[in-house]
């Protein structure tokens, strides 16, 4: 019962470095999304995808890229990391609109120094 798997769990980056946060789900869910969690701000939507080949921006997309080449995977790319991107990142998936349960990964703690 893997569910939603995120890697890495912890990462420290230097300003300007690039990296990719991986997210995979094994539930054949169409809908996947990335959120970031910051103190006092709850979780905010970065990007989402309603199916393979389709992505769109959420509330805070700047500085992040995504792609969805398969149903299972939804990686989040930081092209040039900035200290403001220090956060906890959560990937989520669900079957699609309609109040179905949304499943979250365990989170990726990212620090940019």
In the complex, the residues that contact another protein under the rule CB under 8 A are: 31, 33, 35, 40-45, 48, 58, 90, 92, 94, 96-107
Looking at the Cβ atoms of 17 and 45, the one nearer to another protein is 45
State the minimum distance, in angstroms, from the CB of residue 57 to another protein. Answer: 11
Tell me if residue 71 falls in helix, strand or coil. Answer: coil
Q: Is the dihedral of CA 39, 42, 48, 51 positive or negative?
A: positive
- Nearest-approach distance from CB 82 to another protein, in angstroms: 23
Q: Report in angstroms how near the CB of residue 84 gets to another protein at its nearest.
A: 18
Which residues does residue 47 pair with via DSSP β-bridges, in sequence order?
34, 57
Question: Which of 14/99 has CB closer to another protein?
Answer: 99
Q: Which is nearer to another protein, 43 or 52 (CB)?
A: 43
Cα separation, 55 vs 102, in Å, equals 18
Q: Could you tell me the smallest distance in angstroms from the CB atom of residue 64 to another protein?
A: 16
Residue 17 or 43 with smaller CB distance to another protein? 43
Contact assessment for residue 81 and residue 18, using Cβ atoms and an 8 Å cutoff: yes
3-class state of residue 56 by DSSP: strand
Q: Is 85 helix (H, G, I), strand (E, B) or coil?
A: helix
């Amino acid at each position: 019962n893997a569910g939603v798997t995120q890697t890495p769990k912890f990462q420290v980056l230097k300003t300007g470095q690039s990296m990719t946060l991986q997210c995979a789900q094994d539930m054949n869910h169409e809908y996947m999304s990335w959120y970031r969690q910051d103190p006092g701000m709850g979780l905010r939507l970065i990007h989402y995808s309603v199916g393979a080949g389709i992505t769109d921006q959420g509330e805070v997309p700047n500085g992040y890229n995504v792609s969805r080449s398969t149903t299972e995977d939804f990686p989040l790319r930081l092209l040039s990391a900035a200290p403001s991107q220090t956060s906890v990142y959560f990937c989520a998936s669900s079957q699609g609109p309609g109040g179905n349960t949304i499943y979250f990964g365990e989170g990726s703690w990212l620090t940019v120094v």
